[in-house]
Amino acid sequence: MKASRAYRTIAEKYLHTKTFKDVVIPDSLIELLTFMYTEEEAEMVATLGLAMKSVKTIAKSVNRPVEEVNGILAPLAERMLIIGLTKRKVPLYGLLNFYPGLYEAQMVLSESKMREGDDGAFFKEFARLFKDFWEELFAWLKTNPGFADRYQILGTPLGRVISVEEAIDASPGLGILSYKTDKFSEMADRAKKSICQIDVCTCRQEMHLLDEECSRVDKPTSVTCTLTGTVAEAAIKAGAATRISKEQFIESRVQAGELGLVAMTDDTVDPLLICTCCDCCCSIMRVLKDFNNPNTWAQSHFEAVIDRGTCKGCRTCAKACPMDAIKVGRDKKAAVDYARCIGCGVCVVKCDKQRAISFKTRKIHKPPVDNLVEFWVRRYFQLKGREEQFLPKLTLGATRALSRINPIHITGPRARRIGK
């Protein structure tokens, strides 16, 4: 599909082609971008990056008046097709991460707009085109294993799972040691007041826009994704989320675990977004489930272990597992496929009668990094096959420098103090 240079530039930024040099840009992504942005808008958006830029800098790069550029970008930010902030009365703009990020923003916005009387035509077409792009991208990836091998993706988790806290607490006999990042209760302490719950489940909203529905009918609308830190404050200000207390946050996590939902997030100490996922609606969960070794893409610090002496072979755990990682054999005992176990803890919670399942610490596990800058720098070096000893100092320096000029996209809760 032919497209202007601006659209291809945006696509390249979203797919990080500077790192993944031989990734193929699907035609469906270009089609989606031409639907999202006019040619004039695309010219402006193509100059943006994940680091925020002042409107004056953007205007200079496209050789247009500041007022004119701001007049084009401000409405896009209002529609959550880019991100816009104001710092010291200066408008700042940047790209939203495509997924997670821009996709979730459109799903949340669609629900509020349609509730206000919008016919939802834009959002329904967005959902259709996004689904086409997502399916085309991962169909290509699955049929091109050499791509993953070259960039070592299958040894470099791009996200992580946060286990059901009850499952961690139920496994003291195995001597597991949890990090400060393994428990929601400790995250809530660090986030303080900057916690919000998104007003709509974005994955269920996509299904609704596509005239499909979530098969998990017992999933209440009150259990949705959660934001922390700067992003939480921005979502609350935009009217797309509701501030919740630490106690409400922890209760929602307990309820999610009881319903068999999985908490997935970015691989940082204080995540910006904590998704609450089911395996029928969530795009990421569906993709993970389709691969033979999903835990190399996302995993928790733990994995399930079954006490064969206690197990009665009731299959409750096998039915509950979102990754089909548990099977019951002819001996009427459950067994774990450790290539598939992501360590969500749902099986531990569901096995409440026999209590035959608990956690053990994953043998090979890297703790999450401090912030998103370090995350991407580390991933860059890992994908290039290099992890030099100077990397921690390099990422620390990069984080300190960027946090002074970029007030968002850096960390979770601690980002609130940047720029004050």
Look at residue 29 and tell me whether its pLDDT is greater than 60. yes
Look at residue 336 and tell me whether its pLDDT is greater than 90. yes
Question: Residue 413: pLDDT band by 50, 70, 90 thresholds?
Answer: very low
- CA-wise closest residue to 379 among 157, 146, 144: 157
**pLDDT for the residue 18:** 82
Question: Residue 23: pLDDT band by 50, 70, 90 thresholds?
Answer: confident
Cα 357 to Cα 411: distance, rounded to the nearest angstrom: 35
Look at residue 3 and tell me whether its pLDDT is greater than 70. no
Q: For residue 140, which amino acid is it?
A: W
**pLDDT for the residue 420:** 31
Look at residue 419 and tell me whether its pLDDT is greater than 50. no
**pLDDT for the residue 175:** 63
Percent of the chain predicted with pLDDT > 90:
32
**DSSP readout, 309-364?**
TT-----HHHHH-TT--EEE-TTS-EEE-TTT-----HHHHH-TTT--EEEEE-SS
Q: What is the mean pLDDT of residues 25-33?
A: 94
pLDDT per residue over 281-294, tens digit each? 887 888 778 777 78
Q: What is the mean pLDDT of residues 204-211?
A: 88
Look at residue 46 and tell me whether its pLDDT is greater than 90. yes
Strands 326-328 and 334-336 turn out to be antiparallel
Q: Where are the domains of the chain?
A: 157-361, 372-417
Cα 181 to Cα 191: distance, rounded to the nearest angstrom: 12
Q: Please report, to the nearest 10 degrees, the dihedral formed by the alpha carbons of residues 185, 186, 192, 197 taken in order.
A: -50
Look at residue 267 and tell me whether its pLDDT is greater than 60. yes
Token digits of residue 416: 């609130």
Q: What is the mean pLDDT of residues 44-69?
A: 92
**pLDDT for the residue 395:** 46
Cα 164 to Cα 343: distance, rounded to the nearest angstrom: 9
**pLDDT for the residue 403:** 44
Cα 66 to Cα 10: distance, rounded to the nearest angstrom: 21
Reported pTM: 0.74
**pLDDT for the residue 307:** 92
Question: Residue 250: pLDDT band by 50, 70, 90 thresholds?
Answer: confident
**DSSP readout, 28-75?**
HHHHHHHHHS-HHHHHHHTT--SS-EEHHHHHHHHT--HHHHHHHHHH
Question: Residue 383: pLDDT band by 50, 70, 90 thresholds?
Answer: low
For residue 262, the surrounding DSSP H or E stretch is strand 262-265
Higher pLDDT, 180 or 106: 106
Higher pLDDT, 218 or 121: 121
Question: Residue 417: pLDDT band by 50, 70, 90 thresholds?
Answer: very low
Residue with tokens 């998704």: 275
Look at residue 35 and tell me whether its pLDDT is greater than 90. yes
**pLDDT for the residue 416:** 35
pLDDT per residue over 169-198, tens digit each? 877 665 677 777 888 888 777 776 778 887
Q: What is the mean pLDDT of residues 35-57?
A: 93
**Alpha carbon 139 to chain centroid, angstroms:** 20
Q: What is the mean pLDDT of residues 244-261?
A: 86
